[in-house]
Amino acid sequence: MFKHYAYISPIAVMYSILSLPFFASAQGNIDIGDVLVDVADFINASIVFFVLLATAVFMWGIVRYISAHGDQDQIAEARKFIVWGIIFLAVMVAIWGFVALLLNFVFDDPNAINNNDVIPPGPRLDKGALP
């Protein structure tokens, strides 16, 4: 049971360290708009982190597949990493799209979906988007 903590603990520590700048912006005069902007920034950073994690799982599966050298057991295990990496990437892209639709619907933020960028940067809630 405790061997799973060896994998989860470094990820939890890294994720909490990456989220510190969002919580360190505690200031005296803040309103709900500032809080919503911080939450949107936190969600955006979370999506980027998990997409990078899914890409790393996928790439690790490819490395294991190449280094299997024809061993069927190692190839089967590498395929599991590849499939789970693809599933995780698809789920993260779906979550990114859902958050963008939610921001567009609730806050009427046209920049949440209609980006002309090649790579979507993720949903962002600006202070001027609040009613």
Q: What is the pLDDT of residues 8-36, one digit of tens each?
A: 777 777 777 776 666 666 555 667 777 77
First-to-last C-alpha distance (Å) of the chain? 49
Provide mean pLDDT across the span 31-55.
79
Asked, for residue 124, whether it belongs to a domain, the answer is no
- The residue range of the domain holding 97 is 31-107
| Cα–Cα distance, 4 to 1 (Å, whole number) | 6
Asked, for residue 114, whether it belongs to a domain, the answer is no
Please give the mean pLDDT across all residues of the chain. Answer: 75
With tokens 């690790």, the residue in question is 60
pTM greater than 0.85: no
Asked, for residue 17, whether it belongs to a domain, the answer is no
Provide mean pLDDT across the span 101-126.
60
With tokens 């190449």, the residue in question is 66
Asked, for residue 51, whether it belongs to a domain, the answer is yes
How many CB atoms neighbour CB 77 within 10 A? 14
Asked, for residue 7, whether it belongs to a domain, the answer is no
Asked, for residue 48, whether it belongs to a domain, the answer is yes
- The total domain count for the chain is 1
| Cα–Cα distance, 19 to 23 (Å, whole number) | 7
C-alpha angle 13-18-21 in degrees, rounded to nearest 5: 130
Asked, for residue 8, whether it belongs to a domain, the answer is no
Asked, for residue 26, whether it belongs to a domain, the answer is no
